[in-house]
Structure 1
Amino acid sequence: MQRCYQLNLPQTYGARCWGSSCGWVVTLDLNLEIYMFNPLTKARVPLPSQTTMFNDYEDEINDYVWARQCFVNKMIVFETDNERDDYIVIALPGAFPGCIAYYARRSDKAWTSIFSTRKLQGWLLDWVTDVVRWGQKLLFLYQDGAIGYCDMSALENSKIATIMEYSPIPKAYDPWPCIKQQYLLDAFGDLLMVSRHKIDYEGVEDNSVNYDTLHFKVYRFKFDTNTWVQVNDLGDVALFVGNNTSIPIRASHINNCKRNCIYFTDDEFQFWNSLTLFGGHDMGLFNMTNNEFETVYGGDDIHSSFCPSLWFMPKF
């Protein structure tokens, strides 16, 4: 039986939100205050303010609405091994990237910068698009397909973390001539990289920018050869990517979940403004069996100029 629940969550009103796989939604409100929020229990845990990320950009960032929408691209939540109900939140910059990423725990007073030993390739290529936990390491996926890592213990003990090189830029990297978003997942023992290809359409008369997802490609990392190989069948696995922590699911364990599919939400944050289709329209399901797209939900409430739909997994 398919069930749909509607929750009244005033704690999220006006906030930008990111979903996770461990029961929490990260919220960023108009005052740049950040919380971990549990939609089921209504518990809310404060994190350091976003203003502690600004550092050298304080004079340039005087528009809180812009800072909320553009300074942070993604928030990712990980459970720690230190104690129960202890979490680390990774923030990936969206604009003014003074560092590769930031991290914080609920007891911290400020966000801590994470830097990289990687030789700079240019701002867009050095942009970290996703992070996944792999054993006792955190793996960071760069826009160009390279991977860096740092030890989870450094973040668990609130130490300075530096990203070291794990694997170089793939030789067979696909230079698709359009907007591209990358995701990294631990899919039940397989390290997967999902490449999402988009196209943007610029309006001639009103200078509008509209965009849509065209295709997905999935790659599995081979540790023996340090290379990526393309995957055409996910088996019983479904992947959930977008405005949230990237989540793999056993499709057979969830009612109405389709195997060998990629569920996606709109995460093209730089185009969420009044001259576009608004955030939220680029959402759906990509079936890898027939390479076709399907609609997941088509209500008008998916549209937002600051917080479109997200995937969230409750924890009981």
Structure 2
Amino acid sequence: MVRWLVPDDPTIIGIAIKVFEADFHMSRWREVQSLGDDVLFISSNCSRAKMAFGGHAQYLQGNQIYFLNDSFVHWSHGSPWNKPACGVYDMSSGTIRPISLGARRISTQSKALWFFLPDHAASKRPSFN
């Protein structure tokens, strides 16, 4: 489970992310400090875990969370203002670096999505060396 900590004040820019795993023996959630070689991709409608080694090693670095969140809606002067948050959270350093969405205006009707190749197709990608 991933918990987003978002400030209520729209003037504060930033979020915090905490990761938990199920401890079935103790029937509770336990906070995780490291993902090791795993990478998480999370969004409001699709999440997936991948390993950063093997066919993905040249594209992904372990212990990171890639996130797309288009559901942060803040109210400004009586009307909603969509403020998407897209970035990479590094669990080793506790830092977030943004993913640029470009200069285009983002509609409140648009939803951010991850697209994944089937696992068997990832190893067949051409090399661009």
TM-score normalised by structure 1 residue count: 0.33
* Paired positions, count: 115
Decide whether the 8 Å contact of 1:220 with 1:231 is kept in 2.
Answer: yes
Alignment-mate amino acid for residue 263 of structure 1: Y
Q: Does 1:201 align with 2:4?
A: no
Decide whether the 8 Å contact of 1:221 with 1:229 is kept in 2.
Answer: yes
For residues 112 and 98 of structure 2, the distance between their equivalents in structure 1, rounded to whole angstroms, comes to 14
Kindly provide the CA deviation profile for residues 148-190 of structure 1, in whole angstroms up to 9, marking residues without a partner as x.
xxxxxxxxxxxxxxxxxxxxxxxxxxxxxxxxxxxxxxxxxxx
State the match for 1:310 in structure 2.
113
Point out 4+ residue stretches in structure 1 off by more than 3 angstroms: 210-213, 269-275
CA 1:224–1:243: 2 relative to 1, 3 Å: closer
Q: Does 1:296 align with 2:99?
A: yes
Alignment-mate amino acid for residue 304 of structure 1: S
Decide whether the 8 Å contact of 2:89 with 2:97 is kept in 1.
Answer: yes
Decide whether the 8 Å contact of 2:67 with 2:86 is kept in 1.
Answer: yes
1:236-251 matches, within 5 Å, as 236-251=37-52
For residues 39 and 102 of structure 2, the distance between their equivalents in structure 1, rounded to whole angstroms, comes to 23
Decide whether the 8 Å contact of 1:272 with 1:305 is kept in 2.
Answer: no
Q: Does 1:214 align with 2:31?
A: no
Indicate the structure (1 or 2) with the bigger Cα radius of gyration.
1
Decide whether the 8 Å contact of 1:238 with 1:257 is kept in 2.
Answer: yes
Structure 2 portions without partners, runs of 5+: 122-129
1:65-104 matches, within 5 Å, as none
Alignment-mate amino acid for residue 285 of structure 1: V
CA 1:269–1:291: 2 relative to 1, 3 Å: closer
Question: Relative contact order: is structure 1 or structure 2 higher (C-alpha 8 Å, sep ≥ 6)?
Answer: 2
For residues 60 and 106 of structure 2, the distance between their equivalents in structure 1, rounded to whole angstroms, comes to 23
Q: What's the CA shift for 1:264?
A: 0.7
For residues 51 and 104 of structure 2, the distance between their equivalents in structure 1, rounded to whole angstroms, comes to 28
Q: What's the CA shift for 1:251?
A: 1.4
Coordinate RMSD, CA, aligned: 2.6
Decide whether the 8 Å contact of 2:46 with 2:113 is kept in 1.
Answer: no
Decide whether the 8 Å contact of 2:38 with 2:51 is kept in 1.
Answer: yes
Decide whether the 8 Å contact of 1:279 with 1:306 is kept in 2.
Answer: no
For residues 230 and 311 of structure 1, the distance between their equivalents in structure 2, rounded to whole angstroms, comes to 25
Q: Does 1:263 align with 2:69?
A: no
For residues 304 and 244 of structure 1, the distance between their equivalents in structure 2, rounded to whole angstroms, comes to 17
Q: Identity of counterpart residues, as a percentage?
A: 27
State the match for 1:9 in structure 2.
none
Q: What's the CA shift for 1:233?
A: 0.6
Greater fraction helix: 1
Alignment-mate amino acid for residue 226 of structure 1: S
Structure 1 portions without partners, runs of 5+: 1-192, 203-209
